[in-house]
Amino acid sequence: MSENKVKITVKGKTIELPIRSGTIGPDVTEISTLYKKTGIFTYDPGFISTASCESRTTYIDGDKGILLYRGYPINEVAENGDFLEVCYLLLHGELPTQVQKKDFDYRVQHHHMVHEQFSRFFHVFRRDSHPMAVMIACLGAMSAFYHDSIDITNPHQRMLASLRLIAKMPTLAAMSYKYSIGQPFVYPLNSLGYAENFLHMCFSIPCVEYKVNPILARAMDKIFILHADHEQNASTSTVRLAGSSGANPFACIAAGIACLWGPAHGGANEACLKMFEQIGSVKRIPEFIARAKDKDDSFRLMGFGHRIYKNYDPRAYIMQQTCHEVLNELGIKDDPLLDIAIELEQIALHDKYFIEKKLYPNIDFYSGIILKALGFPTSMFTVIFALARSVGWVAQWKEMVEDPAQKIGRPRQLYTGEVKRTYVSIKKRK
Ligand code: SDX
């Protein structure tokens, strides 16, 4: 490999491919001319070594356990800012001034309500529908309600769609929760902060005055910040691919929610808490560690491992601290699930298998314990992940739409099926 080129020889012919450097992180070699010049494709299922795009939004150094939102370390942002400030940062690329923050908060607050027809829309679902299924439908339906923010070529409409998504996701998420427990929907209150409003819409009932505990609201806001964006993960890549065809932003976010639902991705927080409940006691941890290491057993330790982090997920640290804050505030002294989580983490972090494979707790390991303590059922855990991740999805979608070099995403394949053969009429088939 010369200074800034990669040399590839295919069937005796050698070509050179340019190498590009980012501001930080691994270089890339541009391979878009490879097929034209050599007649071969690259092959990288799961995109282990493939950069799908150029982005300035979020940076991850998996070996060092670093996560930067527009260059700001996640711990500094989570400790000092709030979720709407992170939304502004991810969308605009800079931290807002006090005036910009006040204006942004006001604009989000005045988009919290959804069209009143949505309250009827929920009633087509069974009460026991998984709220993720309901949210996928709601986001698709948003393109049927908000026609004045689906023209992706119009910058004003792109920003309006972004604001509506950030503002209406908590309202729709709370409605999907209320619907599932047979309680009346609660309207947003513009006098409340973003996370406070979400807890109010989820847990207040018409019969009693409900005051949100500020410590719990702060914990909720921090959870939103930790989940806001994460480079080109599976659901963000889904949103980008859907958006590359020119689909409207609401349809793209619906696709992102569908992808996030999987237990290997955002569904891991729900799966993780169910795993703690399945383990049931600290005594049974060795049995499950053995299963996680057994090649013939499909069981995996939920909340552990990551495609990029080969070190502790920096979000898991903050999540663990937040977990203790919430349990202390709620006076939960000995949560058996937390005991299992802490013991499981200690055993796994000292086990050769996990050390060799560089498997550490990820963002989903502690989040479920906090969300359960806040009063959410496991079925709402990934909905809350989707609520927070919507700003990352829409920021990356906007970046892709506004990139003059973007084209429709259309990967190729290694074909290993039947070669050309002649059709046989069914009369002649035995
Ligand atoms: C998220 O991409 C993102 O950024 C995602 C996310 C985000 O913010 O968007 O961070 C959110 O999705 C976090 C991850 C949540 N998922 C889980 O907690 C589910 C459990 N984790 C695994 O399924 C797995 O670790 C993945 C899916 C997260 C990562 O899988 P990879 O990168 O494809 O790694 P791999 O499956 O190839 O595993 C490498 C090895 C394998 O062993 P070998 O085949 O090499 O012998 O490690 C083993 C795996 O068997 N392994 C595990 C394991 N995770 C990986 N073994 C036991 N338990 C685990 N959890």
Residue 364 designated active-site: yes
Nearest to residue 254, comparing CAs of 126, 142, 123, 396? 142
Residues near 274 by beta carbon (within 8 Å), at least 6 away in sequence: 302, 378
* Closest C-alpha residue for ligand 1 atom 18: 303
Contact (Cβ atoms closer than 8 angstroms) between residue 217 and residue 196: yes
**Considering the entire predicted model, what is its pTM?**
0.95
Distance 246 CA to ligand 1 centre (A): 31
Which parts of the chain sit beneath pLDDT 70?
Answer: 1-3
* pLDDT tens readout for residues 83-95: 999 999 999 999 9
Residues near 239 by beta carbon (within 8 Å), at least 6 away in sequence: 252, 253, 255, 256, 393, 396, 397
Element (H, E) at 117: helix 117-121
Residue 313 designated active-site: no
Whole-number Å distance between alpha carbons of 309 and 311: 5
Contact (Cβ atoms closer than 8 angstroms) between residue 29 and residue 1: no
* Closest C-alpha residue for ligand 1 atom 1: 265
Distance 237 CA to ligand 1 centre (A): 17
Whole-number Å distance between alpha carbons of 97 and 326: 30
* Closest C-alpha residue for ligand 1 atom 2: 233
Question: Looking at residue 1, what is its pLDDT?
Answer: 45
Question: Looking at residue 3, what is its pLDDT?
Answer: 64
Distance 304 CA to ligand 1 centre (A): 7
Which residues, judged by CB distance below 6 Å to any ligand atom, belong to the binding site of ligand 1?
Answer: 230, 233, 264-266, 268, 292, 300-308, 357, 359, 362-364
For helices 381-401 and 268-279, the axis angle rounded to 10 degrees is: 160
Q: Which two tokens stand for residue 160?
A: 């309006």
Identity of the residue numbered 362: N
Question: Looking at residue 185, what is its pLDDT?
Answer: 98
Instruction: Give the mutation target among 298, 357, 393 for probing the ligand 1 site: most ligand atoms within 8 A of CB.
Output: 357
Q: Dihedral through CA 119, CA 134, CA 255, CA 81, nearest 10?
A: 70
Contact (Cβ atoms closer than 8 angstroms) between residue 38 and residue 10: yes
Question: Looking at residue 335, what is its pLDDT?
Answer: 86
